[in-house]
Amino acid sequence: MNLPNKLTLLRVILIPFFALFLLWQFTDFNILIALIIFAAASITDLFDGKIARKYNLITDFGKFLDPLADKALVMAALVIFVELGWCSSVPVIIILFREFAVSALRLVVKSGDGTVVAAGWFGKIKTAFTMAALVIILLLKGLEPLGIVFPFTGIVSALLIWIAAALTAASGLEYLRGYWKFIDPGK
């Protein structure tokens, strides 16, 4: 297994640790620890792609697992944010729907002629923005138990999540438009 794929697997392995620290309120620093884990996992997404492209280590396994790892990390964060009351479920449902739709589209295209649908640039921008937004929200929330409270944290958090939902929906439409020819209701 090459280094980019190992980094992607590391991102998957970090998800339960991130969730544990975000959900288990055992210290004032648990959210900041979750933030560090989330940020480390997010950074692996940046490096696995750069390394894979630079050293021509792109594999079908990486094309499949990388977006799945991104989805799992982001969805874990968003579902926990809803549980903690940090964001509305509506943008999370929009994001979930897009992720399931694109995953289904990938399966249809792959089963059709073996084409692997790699992440497009708009999808990468969406992922980068969403991960950055989640880092900002975790930072704002993580500082609160330490007495550092920023005004309008709720409004900023909601705005970031809604922008992420809009980018996510738009990138989903981009995938659908680009791979529509593979969808045949007759099959």
Q: What is the pLDDT of residues 128-169, one digit of tens each?
A: 999 999 999 999 999 999 999 999 999 999 999 999 999 999
Q: How many Cβ atoms from other residues are within 10 Å of residue 185's Cβ?
A: 4
Q: Which of 20-24, 108-112, 146-150, 167-171 has the lowest mean pLDDT?
A: 108-112
pLDDT of residue 107: 76
In a domain, 38, yes or no: yes
Two tokens at 52? 């894979």
pTM attached to this predicted model: 0.89
In the numeric block, the tokens 């009351």 are attached to: 85
**Is residue 58 included in any domain, yes or no?**
yes
- 122 part of a folded domain: yes
- On whether residue 83 sits in a domain, the answer given is yes
CATH code where residue 7 lies: 1.20.120.1760
Q: Which residues form the domain of 26?
A: 3-182
Q: Please write the tens of the pLDDT for every residue from 98-109.
A: 999 988 887 777
Is residue 104 within 8 Å of 128, Cβ to Cβ?
no
In a domain, 16, yes or no: yes
For the stretch 51-97, pLDDT in tens is 999 999 999 888 889 888 999 999 999 999 999 999 999 999 999 99
Give 18-77 as a DSSP string: HHHHHH---STTHHHHHHHHHHHHHHHHHHHHHHHHHTT---HHHHHHHHHHHHHHHHHH
**How many structural domains are present in the chain?**
1
Specify if 75 maps to a domain.
Answer: yes
Cα distance from N-terminal residue to C-terminal residue, the chain: 36
Is 44 within the bounds of a domain? Answer: yes
Residue 187 in domain: no
